[in-house]
Amino acid sequence: MTVKKVDKNDTKKVFLKLGTCSRTFFYLLNREFGHQMELEERAADPLAGGILQKGHQCGMLWGASLAVGAASFRRYNDHDQAISVAVSATQHLLESFSNRTNTVNCRTITDTDFSKKWEMLKYTLFKARGCFNLAEKWAPEAIEVAREALSREQVLSKQPISCASEVVKKMGASNEETVMVSGFAGGLGLSGNACGALSAAIWMNTLSWSKEHPKKPSLSNPEAKKTFKVFSAETDSEILCHKICGKHFKNLDDHSEFIKKGGCKKLIDLLANA
C-alpha cells in the first residue's frame, strides 16, 4: 500500500486532528518514510506533555524516536545494526530539537504544569499556539535529520542492548517493536533524562490496551497510569535516568555493558510486569 507523505504546510492541521505532539511526530515521520502504523501511533499519546503530561522530554521527541526506530527496523536486516542506528538517530533528533528550543523538556517549553487544572486551561487558551508553531518549524528539520541519520555510515555497537528494548521484549514485543523503542535507551538517546524504560513500558501497555479498546482515547488510559505508579514506588519518585543509574552513559557500548552486568534489572522486571 502506498502511503502519502504529509505536506510540510499541514503539520498544524495534523497536530490539531491527532491531538498530541507525540502521536503527531510519530505519524509525520512514518508517512515520510512511506509507512502507516495507526495503532502504534495512537499508543504514543501518553508520552505527550513529557510522559503522562509530567513535563519531561517533549512528546515530539518520543514520537520521532519511535518513527526512526520503525524505519531502522525496516531498513536493516541485522537486528543489532537496527538498534544501533535507531539510538544514533534519536541522538541526532535530540540535538536538533535542543538547538532549536535550548531544552528538551516540555515544562520548560510550555511553562505549564499540566497537573494543575488552571494551568492546563491557561495553556489551552493562550499557550497551545506555541507548541503548534514549534511543531510546524521543527517538522521539516526533524525529517531531514532522521533521513540523514538513518543513512549515515557509523561505527556500530557490538551486541547493543537498550534498556527500553529489554523491557518490551519481556512484555512479549515483536522484533520490530523492540527496535522501535530502542532509541529510548538511557533516558532517550542516552541523554540521562527521564527514564526510557518507563516510556517504553507505557507505550507497550498502551498498545495492548488500545487494541482492546479501539474507540477509547488512549492519552490517560489506566494501564499507563498503573505503570507509572509502579515505577514511582520503586524509584522513590525519581525519574531521571542518570540519577537512577548513578551515571551518564558515554555511548551505546557503555549503556549495553551496564545492562549486561545487571544494571536496572529489578526495575526492568517490575516495569515488564506492571
Model pLDDT, residue 15? 97
Model pLDDT, residue 155? 62
Instruction: Say how far apart CA 207 and CA 228 lie, in whole Å.
Output: 15
Residue 121: partners with Cβ closer than 8 Å, 6 or more residues away:
none
Model pLDDT, residue 47? 98
Buried b (16+ CB within 10 A) or exposed e, 165-192: bbbbbebebeeebbbbbbbbbbbbbbbb
Model pLDDT, residue 9? 75
* CA-based nearest residue to 106, from 65, 64, 48: 48
Q: Which residues pair with 57 in a beta bridge?
A: 105
The DSSP result for 224-261, as a single string, is: HHHHHHHHHHHHTT--BHHHHHTS--SSHHHHHHHHHT
Model pLDDT, residue 208? 96
Chunked into runs of 10 residues, the chain (274 residues) has average pLDDT values of: 71 96 98 94 97 98 98 94 96 98 97 93 93 97 96 76 98 98 98 98 97 90 95 98 97 96 97 94
Model pLDDT, residue 196? 98
Residue 71: partners with Cβ closer than 8 Å, 6 or more residues away:
29, 33, 35, 146, 150
- Looking from the CA of 27 toward its CB, the CA atoms found within 13 Å total 27
The phi, psi pair for 57, rounded to 5°, reads -55, 135
Model pLDDT, residue 170? 98
**Letter for the amino acid at 117?**
K
Instruction: Say how far apart CA 36 and CA 197 lie, in whole Å.
Output: 24
Check if the beta carbon of residue 41 is closer than 8 Å to that of residue 14: no
Structural domain boundaries in the chain: 8-272
DSSP state of 123: I
